Structure 1
Amino acid sequence: MDAYNHFESDITFKLTRLENLVALFVSLALFIAHIGEVRWLPAVLLFVYIDVIGYIPGLIAERRSLAGGGDGRISKVYYVLYNIMHTWITQAVVIGLWGWIFGFEWALLVIPIHLCGDRSVFGNSLKPFSIPFDSKAPIPEFADFRGRLAGGALTGPRAERTAR
């Protein structure tokens, strides 16, 4: 929300998803408009490699941990892999290198389609170490925090400013 409070309200989260949905539609529209010029092998590879490297290994590790009677905790390496592969920084480098080596092409649009789809359709963003890798529900601490925030249980400078 700001430089000191690193969370989203329900409204700001929905607005962020909406922003990404608009970018997804623009990317999809361009992709469809140039569908005849898309090289399909690079398009498929560029779309799936992000999750093959950044999501599937962590998902498998978490499922194995849970199936083996564990609590689902996995190595931070999986979070780092996810975050590296799902950041615009990494994908901008990939697009730039691809364009430099092979030339820019319409197949590259699958990268923003993937990232914007994850953020808009699924509501995913980068993963902090402190939550389950593949969350199915809010962690109890966050649910409690949201409840207190929604109930007006603010403390600190914000509460003092509002009281004036």
Structure 2
Amino acid sequence: MDAHNLCQTPTTYRLLRLEYLVGLLVAAGFFLAHLDEVRWWVALLLFAHIDLIGYLPGALAHRRSPDGRIPRVYYVLYNTMHSLLTQALVVGAWMWLVGPEWALLVVPIHLFGDRGLFGNFVKPFTVAFEPRPHPAVQSALADFATVPWHAWPPAEPGRDGQRMAAGRGPEHGLVP
């Protein structure tokens, strides 16, 4: 939302997903308009490499883990492979080495689809690898998504120079 409030309400999250859905529709439209020019083995390789490296290893480790905890490397792999920056480098390298082609559109289709259709963004280490509600987030959203900022008590100086609402500190999950 902004540099001081690193969280989303259900409404702002849906609006963000909607923006990625628009990107998905644009990329898919261009892809469909040029189906006869797509090299399918390239499209399949570029679409699949993101999840083969970034999702499947972590998903398997998560399913095999008795308590759902997995090493951070799986989160790093997921976030790296599902990064628009990383995949821009992949597409850029492909264009430099091989040349531009319509199959490259599967990369934004994959990433925009993950974000727009499934709501999957980068994964912090503090959430389960496979989506499930985090108690602290659910608790904070109970207040955050329903109580406007102006309804809170006046801010008072907090630790580390931060300002926090009276009686509502980090232990309530409302201040980073």
TM-score, with structure 1 as normaliser: 0.90
Post-superposition shift, 1:71?
A: 1.4
Q: Over aligned residue pairs, what C-alpha RMSD do you find?
A: 1.6
**Structure 1 residues 112-162: Cα deviation after superposition (integer angstroms, max 9, x where no partner):** 000000001000000000000011x311111100002234274636869xx
Q: Select the residue among 79, 83, 99 that pairs with 2:79.
A: 83
Unmatched segments (≥5 aa) in structure 2: 156-162, 167-176
Q: Select the residue among 109, 112, 136 that pairs with 1:113.
A: 109
Matches within 5 A, 1:75-154: 75-135=71-131, 137-152=132-147, 154=152
Identical columns (%): 52
As a proportion of its length, which structure holds more helix?
1
**Structure 1 residues 18-77: Cα deviation after superposition (integer angstroms, max 9, x where no partner):** 000000000000000000000000000100100000000000000000xxxx21100000
Taking CA–CA contacts closer than 8 Å with sequence separation of 6 or more, which of the two structures ends up with the larger relative contact order?
1
Q: Distance between the aligned counterparts of 1:129 and 1:154, measured in 2?
A: 30
Secondary structure at the residue paired with 1:103? coil
Q: Distance between the aligned counterparts of 1:134 and 1:154, measured in 2?
A: 34
Post-superposition shift, 1:4?
A: 1.4
Q: Which runs of 4+ in 1 moved over 2 A?
A: 150-160
TM-score, with structure 2 as normaliser: 0.84
Q: Select the residue among 33, 53, 69 that pairs with 1:73.
A: 69
Q: Distance between the aligned counterparts of 2:50 and 2:94, measured in 1?
A: 15
Number of positions where the alignment pairs a residue of Structure 1 with one of Structure 2: 155
Q: Distance between the aligned counterparts of 2:79 and 2:135, measured in 1?
A: 23
- CA 53–154 in structure 1, closer or farther in 2 if over 3 Å, else same: farther
Q: Distance between the aligned counterparts of 2:59 and 2:152, measured in 1?
A: 36
**Structure 1 letter corresponding to 2:67:** D
Post-superposition shift, 1:7?
A: 0.9
Q: Is the 8 A contact 2:57 2:74 kept in 1?
A: yes
